[in-house]
Amino acid sequence: NNTPRAPSASNFDGLRSRLSLGLARELGNRTQADAFIGVLRENTKTGGSTNWEYHVSASLRHAIPSPISVLPGSWVFSLSLSGDFARYDAPDPSVDSSIPRRDDKWRLNALASIPLANNVALITSAGYADIQSNLANYTYDNWRVSLGVVAQF
């Protein structure tokens, strides 16, 4: 729906189709690994935003008994790496009328979950994203860190 803030939002209306395949494997009582591949087709009203996107990712999770005896449960650590590769059907004339966009996105993430009580946990994460494009407007990198408390009711 178009709005005053996004007068051409309806250009992005269209069918999105996704196919993915994943594999999860136990590597022991406390360690799991996952791997995924996928493809996404996004059809919009403009060729400059219509694209194929290919995805690959892998993650590893490991749990250890709490090293602090007064804290319940296991501490869980995870590390993941993912790549997304988008290929656009046509140039976007608002950016460059002669070159279809190609984006390569790599993300590395680490997470720790530490139970503080039976229904409360400390969650911390850090990550890096490296986004490369053949159009300079879309190339950037980003570091992020977060710390939070999660409660389950």
pLDDT tens digit string along 9-32? 677 778 889 999 999 999 999 999
Check if the beta carbon of residue 57 is closer than 8 Å to that of residue 83: yes
Residue 1: predicted pLDDT: 65
Amino acid 27: pLDDT: 96
**According to the model, what pLDDT value does residue 49 have?**
87
Question: What does the pLDDT look like over 55-100, one tens digit per residue?
Answer: 999 999 999 999 999 999 999 999 999 999 999 999 988 888 899 9
- Quote the CA–CA distance of 130 and 140 in Å, as a whole number: 6
What's the confidence (pLDDT) of residue 104?
98
The whole-number pLDDT of residue 116 equals 96
Query: How would residue 6 be classed by pLDDT, with cut points 50, 70 and 90?
Result: low
Which residue is listed with tokens 């709005």? Answer: 3
Q: What is the pLDDT of residue 80?
A: 98
CA distances, 16 to each of 9, 10, 22, 71, 139 (Å): 16, 14, 19, 45, 24
Of 69 and 6, the one with more pLDDT: 69
What does the H/E/C string look like for the chain? CCCCCCCCHHHHCCCEEEEEEEEEEECCCCEEEEEEEEEEEECCCCCCCCEEEEEEEEEEEEEEECCCCCCCCEEEEEEEEEEEEEEEEEECCCCCCCCEEEEEEEEEEEEEEEEEECCEEEEEEEEEEEEEECCHHHCEEEEEEEEEEEECC
pLDDT tens-digit series, residues 118-133: 899 999 999 999 999 9
What pLDDT is attached to residue 3? 75
CA–CA separation, 143 and 115 (whole Å): 25
